[in-house]
Chain A
Amino acid sequence: MDMAVADDVLNQHVIDPEICIRCNTCEATCPVGAVTHDARNYVVDPAKCNHCLACIPPCPTGSIDNWRRVLKVRAYSVQEQLGWDVLPGDVPLEQQRGEVTTDSAPVPAPAAPPAVQAEPGEAVFNGAAFSATLPPWSAAHAYCNLYGPKGPTAATVVGNFRVTEVGKEYDTHHIVLDFGAMPFPVLEGQSIGIVPPGADEQGRAHHARQYSVASPRNGERPGYNNLSLTVKRVLEDHQGRPVRGVASNYLCDLKVGDAVQVIGPFGQTFLMPNHPRSNIVMICTGTGSAPMRAMTEWRRRLRASGKFESGKLMLFFGARTKEELPYFGPLQNLPKDFIDIHLAFSRTAGAPKRYVQDLMRERAADLGALLKDANTCVYVCGLKAMEEGVVLALRDVAQQAGLHWDTLRSALQREGRLHLETY
């Protein structure tokens, strides 16, 4: 989940200048110093904001909770935002791409397949509008922001394994970090920030990159103060141009015994339900599988203890090919009565492209039954491009099951049962 280079689209955090009262609470709260102001406006620096949402609850006005989908190259700069009297409207991504194409280098088709072609004149899909802002009721309490950029803690690498087949175009690692005696409690679905050593071309220290935790709450190795990450080595940008991702290459090249600077934990909503008979529907692509692995593993450990009556687990997992799918081997070993797994490959030679939303429609009967159950929570994690297709598939499946979609989606959102985390 290297947010800096994984995709060309940013869900930019902005503040509504018409509602904001300039009380400074967000600036005082922000753990990474991303909020700044002048005499006129309070604004969020897109280069620093890590979407930790720490500023949301303390805002007295609600002006803080605004988001704009923009091309990264077109992100609103701090200067631009300081000049705003009102929030700019949503500009369709296609239009933004068009503008970029005409006045900068030509943009080839994006590497990730667009899930659904936007129809002309249709509003841009905004996944954030569907995602819950609260965790499900039985979520455990998450600790957040124990370590900020001014006071990171150190972790030691105790494992670094490749979890995809050997290939030229892809290389995904499972990295285990141990915190020794330092407290670093995390829950499945939370993320941490890795601060790469050194500085960028301008001589500024690298900013932290965020990665989802891939291990359950009691450690990658149960009872140890460690956790794991799923990191894909970034070798090219979304346009296919060679770029070495700073943090992902640093992480993939780590040796056992190396020390890493860590901040966090982050995230207080993308958390799993813990009550008996709660069901979990997981939909992910690539390294978006990290939180799903964490949740699945926690449920697997509970099941092994014999003391927890789990609900159903259903996983829809997409990758370009079988070889590229992280944890492909171990996934095959999970009992079928424990988890219902569906894998989609979009680039298998000689086979038609299949995306996670295709599988969801195929399994509409089972998925629909789960959606009818108020004990079901749905988690989506992966590339931004999958969001719209997945939500539309959920809608179709729900309607097929005789559910009223608007009622269902608002219940899912209100009750903290639908979570989208894309990058």
Chain B
Amino acid sequence: MSSIDYSEKIPNNVNLAEDRTLKRALEQWQPNFINWWGDVGPEGTSNHDVYLRTAVSVDPQGWAQFGYVKMPEYRWGIFLNPAQADRTIQFGDHKGEAAWQDVPGEHRANLRRIIVTQGDTEPASVEQQRHLGLTCPSQYDLRNLFQVNVEEGRHLWAMVYLLQKHFGRDGREEAEALLERRSGDENNPRILGAFNEKTPDWLAFFMFTYFTDRDGKFQLSALAESSFDPLARTTRFMLTEEAHHMFVGESGVSRVVQRTCQVMNDLKTDDPVKVRAAGAIDLGTIQRYLNFHYSVTIDLFGADQSSNAATFYSSGLKGRFEEGKRSDDHVLKDQSYTVLEVRDGQLAEKSVPMLNALNEVLRDDFIKDSVAGIGRWNKVIEKAGLPHRLQVPHKAFHRNIGALAGIKMAPDGRVVSEPEWNDKVGEWLPTDEDRAFVASLMGRVVEPGKFAHWIAPPVMGINRQPIDFEYVRFG
């Protein structure tokens, strides 16, 4: 069954009506979710009519239906990709066995932990982004922000469904806790570091959706391989939505870069002071934002050597990115992988068992994917005829997790002394002054078709609508 039952209080394609206990549990959780949205969701937006897409079914035709919606009335629901009959486990010790429809007792704690960790990121980013609407560069961008927000909300629903359906009382408690933690709260923070950072301005938002939502894509892809079939089906559908979030980031930064290049060419200058004076964000600042978000995000993949990662893989809980497209044995027992460590003050390579290095494998896949997009930003600079290029910093730069945590390293991969780090860090990571400058540009532009000066308009509108379409009607 793939069409979604909208007559239900909670739209779903999982026959919720037939499971009364679960339905009651979710219906009790729903008002708490709406309260949470009202408290820490997008600020001052409850009367806006926003041109949003809502899934009405999970097939290609049905999941992207566009129309005006008031966000508190958005139909958050529970949608799983269709079940694949006779799906078997593709990797790990259980390879070839039938996929699990229920949680095996021995994997219960680990699966719950994986689901809670994933679920916690979803409301966290909504909280991080709640003030951005007040400084949007256009209606088009405002709508994109809100789309990201409501879909992160739906992703929370997806995880809460799994917790409530498959983890009994523990699951219900975890579901409540997901609404109680707060991004950046000292006493009750979100679980992962990057999700407690501020998203203070739109450049940070675009970098966040480019890098950090891409972490989401890789985590979801790895979970979409899971032997626990409901988790695989849920995350598969979430990936379709996640694509829009990365689009917002990639095209957002690209448009910022485009405007900067245009200003540089108009003024025939690469002096950041002049570029800033002309109301654009200099490439140096963009590079520093990039360095920050990239390094914070690659920490999210966890320690480079992790016995948990090995357990998750071997027990079939979490696969690799594109597991099905890899041609190895999908068990990985005797294979090795190269990781980095610091030896005698220098970076050195070390070969470790692949199973223990699976966080690093996923991180390296992420890096490859990220670098490709940065290449596309560079195409914009190249097209403008400018010699500058953006690049990702070395993967050991500014790390806080794993063997590379805390070492002082330049973006180019040189280990540096403490004094040199302190001397140069302002060239490598955004300074207070950078952030204050970017913040100074963040005026609110909401007239249809108008864009803030620091960002170029997009190539095309959403859902084939024109760029000057009224994406948000302010209530």
Contacts and interface: CB of A to CB of B under 8 A. Distances in A.
Given A62-B460, A85-B379, A21 B251 contact: yes
B277 interface: no
Interface string A121-164: 00000000000010000000010110000000000000000000
Interface stretch (B109-117, B237-245, B261-269, B344-352): B237-245
A320 interface: no
Given A22-B369, A22-B373, A28-B239, A58 B64 contact: yes
Given A28-B240, A85-B379, A57 B247 contact: no
B243 A24 contact: yes
Contact of A54 (B60, B217, B251): B60
Interface residues of B, number: 25
Nearest to A22: B372
A60 B244 contact: yes
A179 to B, nearest CB: 19
B60 A18 contact: no
Nearest to B242: A23
Contact of A145 (B60, B239, B373): B60
Contacts of A22: 369, 372-373
A130 to B, nearest CB: 15
B389 to A, nearest CB: 15
Interface in B81-111: none
A300 B243 CA distance: 45
Interface size class of A (residues with CB under 8 A): 20 to 34
Contacts of B242: 23
Given A25-B243, A58-B243, A61-B251, A39 B60 contact: no
Contacts of A61: 247, 251
A374 to B, nearest CB: 21
A63 to B, nearest CB: 9
Given A21-B247, A21-B251, A268 B61 contact: yes
A310 interface: no
Interface in B45-96: 59-61, 63-64
Nearest to B217: A23
B246 A23 contact: yes
Interface string B447-465: 0000000000001100010
Interface in B199-247: 217, 236, 239-240, 242-244, 246-247
A62 B246 CA distance: 14
A58 B247 contact: no
Contact of A58 (B60, B217, B369): B60
A55 B60 contact: yes
Nearest to B85: A151
Contact of A57 (B61, B250, B251, B459): B61
A19 interface: yes
B368 interface: yes
B81 to A, nearest CB: 10
Of A25, A39, A54, which is in contact with the most chain B CB atoms at under 10 Å from its CB? A25
A363 B138 CA distance: 49
Contacts of A62: 459-460, 464
B64 A18 contact: no
Interface string B355-390: 000000000000011001100100100000000000
Q: Which 6 A/B pairs are nearest by Cβ-Cβ distance? A: A23-B243, A54-B60, A60-B247, A60-B244, A57-B64, A25-B243
14 contacts: A18-B379, A21-B243, A21-B247, A21-B376, A22-B372, A25-B243, A39-B372, A54-B59, A57-B60, A57-B63, A60-B246, A62-B460, A145-B59, A268-B61
Interface of A: 18-19, 21-25, 28-29, 31, 39-40, 54-55, 57-58, 60-62, 65, 85, 133, 142, 144-145, 268
